[in-house]
Structure 1
Amino acid sequence: MTTHSVAYRHAHWDTPWWANPNRTAGRYNRAMEASTQYWCLHPLGPLAEVLRWSGRASAEDAGTFRLRLWAAKVKRDDLVTINFENADRFGVSADELVGEDYAPTQELADQFRKNGAPGFIAPSAALPGTDVLVLFGPRLSFPYLLDPVDPDDQVPTAHAAEATIATEILPWVRWKGASHWALEEWRRSGAIAVWQEPPVLR
């Protein structure tokens, strides 16, 4: 039986999937390389990513964003999970997985691409205690409740919501230059932390 995970992404376009090479460099891609897809495995992950990228740390500033959230059912049978505990087996350190220097993680992604891997799962730098899903190559949206004809290229995808940011997430965003509390917890206890989302108070 195929195992799927629901993944989430913010994208203002008519599809959340990259068909062309990414125009800017990311943690697991260089600019104008083959398409690299970034998704979050927690529904609040895309909010944290947008806030970290923008640096808007106040509730007033965060409230100016309007997000288009997408959900996708992603096949994960062939996806390796990289975490702080096993990072060294893949040639990177735990710090490098969520660090500000993208060179080590770009090289990590190079190795996966060369080996023909469809992608992998890794810790989120923006929302500690959650994971991100990285997929290589273009994908196509497919109706969410149907089984894809070509499951390697077609992904059941739906436009899930269009809304402002839940500001309760602000204290949990890992801003640029800040420490990563899940990494620190792993150093202290050896445990892989799991984030517990706060209640929505509005």
Structure 2
Amino acid sequence: METRLALLEDRLTRIDGEANAASGNAARAEALLIAFAARRRIAKGEQLDVIADQLKLRFGGAQPQAVQTIIAFAKDPVTLDELNAQLEAAAPALAGQVREESTWTRARRELASLFVVRRAPAPAATPASRVAHARLMLVRGQIDEAIAEVERMPGADGAQGWIDAAHRYEAAQQALDVIETAAMLEPHALRDGSGKAVEQPSPLAATATDGTATGTF
């Protein structure tokens, strides 16, 4: 009888552990879906609505700054397409061109552009090529490089609004990366839909190196 009781207790312990693991993994999967839903709405420039509450509930204890960044951005969103369109519209100003220049001034500028002294075989970077490169970086999602390219242009001071919007967009993307990683790897502060802490370690944690499990924001 004692042997049977011991075996039964051992079996109940294993069942309880498996149930906790299943519950923890389900909570992580739900958190990851919430993060994906937030990313999709951010990409469309839509309000987060109830997703904002879920972000606070599930990730507020683990990554409060990232959550706040995402929610603040969604209240005044900008999409990648909008950044691209705004950059194209700002191209003349970025090139340092004066809108009300005279015909003679414009002719002199265009004539001067025909003669370029080159010290290397590579073609000199022109404002048009810089704008094209910045737009390519946007398409690739390399926002920091697009911003750096714009900041090197003659009329960068007149594009400060675009630069600020691009920085906000990049910060929101980084925050989304952080909470997605937290959904998969956060060991302590992640919570489920009822606000209860997810105590079960992630099955992916064993493959993550120390100090890189959740990242910081």
TM range (shorter): under 0.3
Query: 1 or 2 for the larger relative contact order (CA 8 Å, sep ≥6)?
Result: 2
More helix by share: 2
More strand by share: 1
Given the two structures, how large is their TM-score scaled by the length of structure 2?
A: 0.20
Higher alpha-carbon Rg = 2
Given the two structures, how large is their TM-score scaled by the length of structure 1?
A: 0.21
